[in-house]
Structure 1
Amino acid sequence: MTTSIIPTLKNLYDVTQEQQDNRGYCTLQWRRGKLLVKPLGQVKQPYLPSLNSKRSLVECLQHSPVSLVSIDPKLGEALLRFWADACEEAQKPIFLSIPVSKKLSNQPFWRLIDWIAASVLLLLVSPIMLGLVVLMHVYSPGSIFCRECRVGERGKLFQAIRFRTQNTTLLGRSMRKFSLDNLPQLFNVLRGEMNLTGSRCWTLEDAVRQLNKLPEIKASWEVEAQSHLLNLDSQTL
């Protein structure tokens, strides 16, 4: 088995030289277009300096043949968010390595029902959403939407969309009280990332807490023959 490692970032967006000298490491494994990001194993090799920042990671992913990133929840919430943000910007799907029994799934029939229901609901509530946007511009200037990392079907990480609310304002308190801030998540349902029916999506925080209580996690394709593993270096990623 051949592996490469990169440093985990203590401060993912503003790293000082002192912090760079005291980083931990994570292991990268490459297989048939899939990139596994796991905790440090027994083999230590020089890290990849091109992955020292989010911007570098995004550029590497964009220019690589990586089709899917699978990341171990044992790496912690901060690093998971770092990779999730980078993969979203690079337009690469990223999944948590989770047991089959914990993977949310939705049958095509129910997915179609969700899509139809979300489309109808969007038509019905679109005047309300437009009114909320106008009120937010007047009484709560700033960005209209905020995003929250969630864990969806088969462990896929995605950004759930919500209206940004401030609890200090009457508008914000009212929106949260009646769950109006969640109306934009109908777009997530249309994109197949969330369900109107069935199990609720985990937040990333909840997923990390629950999954780290379980025994060691291995994806089904991770336990196949190891002969297909390729060395990962700065030229291939």
Structure 2
Amino acid sequence: MTAAVAVVLASALGLDLALAGGLAAGMAFTLLIGATRGYDLRRTGSGSHEYKVIVRAGWVWATLLITVLYVAEVAIEPIYVIGAIAGSLTAVLLARTLERALVRRRRRHGEWQRRTLLVGDPEHLRSLTMQLRQDPHQGLDVVGLCVNGAAPGWAGVPVLGDVTEAADVVAEHGVGVVVVAASCMAAAELRRFCWEVESRGVELLIAPNIEEVAAARVAVRPVSGTPLLTVAIGPSRTQHSIKVALDRVLGGVLLAGALPVLAVAALLVRIGSAGSPFYTQQRAGRDGTTFTMFKLRTMYVDADRRRAELLAHSDGNEVMFKMRNDPRITPVGRMLRRFSVDELPQLWNVVRGDMSLVGPRPPLREEVADYDQDAWQRLRVKPGLTGLWQVSGRSDLDWAQTVRLDLHYVDNRSLLMDLGILGRTFRAVFGGRGAY
């Protein structure tokens, strides 16, 4: 950053002034990042905070730099100034990305973790323990629990005391982070706990009684001096309109690009077995409405009739029927399924508005009949060509995991999430994991 600004200034100022100006600009950006907590080690490697801080600091820094150059009447071509700013921000973001990758790699191997104590009710802490164990990137190594009432430890984590003894446990076990379930302490008790551990320099995290809520949906809203969590429910009308437009436009573009692949695949299907190369099936769409879904045929023409005979041999989950070595699948069909080419005709469903590019997979009508109240919530949105299920294991997941992933998407859906899932879909498809 300092070098980029110095090079730009060198054309209008002397070398000494250019170096001094570059150094001042670099120090200013560093201070701005620090002022917005960009060097907070507690947040390193987790969430998008690091990138947001750099972008905000970069915006202020660029404004100040342009203002100073304008007031000082430094004769520099605007394109050079813009290039220096863009190059500096890109370099800082790249450096932070590499640093983040290093931290996450170390944490994945059990290093650079902070000793963490969980405090609260057993049921809440059991779920929280599992989540932290499955996500070592957060850097929180759960070393013990303080629970309300008598309860055994779980997942290899011991109970070190009850809630009232949490402050003593922090001191005895060198705890650096304390996660307190919001429901386990009254406001006055939590305040006293903070007084007791203040000298230990621990970080205090409050776990509200909510699950599967993306951070982007949550904000703190002070009301009469009390911080309250506000949780956004559902996307805005603008986001919904953009998603609909994106489905139709991008779906049409992808369909046009896929036509040559579809033509070759359809010819192979027809040569490989008798019958139409395309297959239609009635599926449940948004709010349970029925629509006709299109696929390339990957099974022999008598597959539907033989399904009942194979139900007892399902390798899928409790609701969705799947078989790793389904005898109804043709040799060509197996190859098409391996790379999800058989799903490409559903781009026409996307263009027609029956489906979305991203969403829960459209279920069969007989599967919907077995849904409980939670599973039915999968139908609150249009079914998708791809979704969290596809990029998280596909047919290898059990029914509870499938429902949890789909409901996480339904509750937290956003344009950024859709774009992320579309990007991960290519890796999942070419990896072929869970495809059968």
**Shorter-normalised TM range:** 0.3 to 0.5
Q: TM-score, normalised by structure 2?
A: 0.24
Higher-RCO chain (CA-CA 8 Å, sequence separation at least 6)? 1
Larger radius of gyration: 2
TM (norm. structure 1) is: 0.42
Bigger share in helix: 2
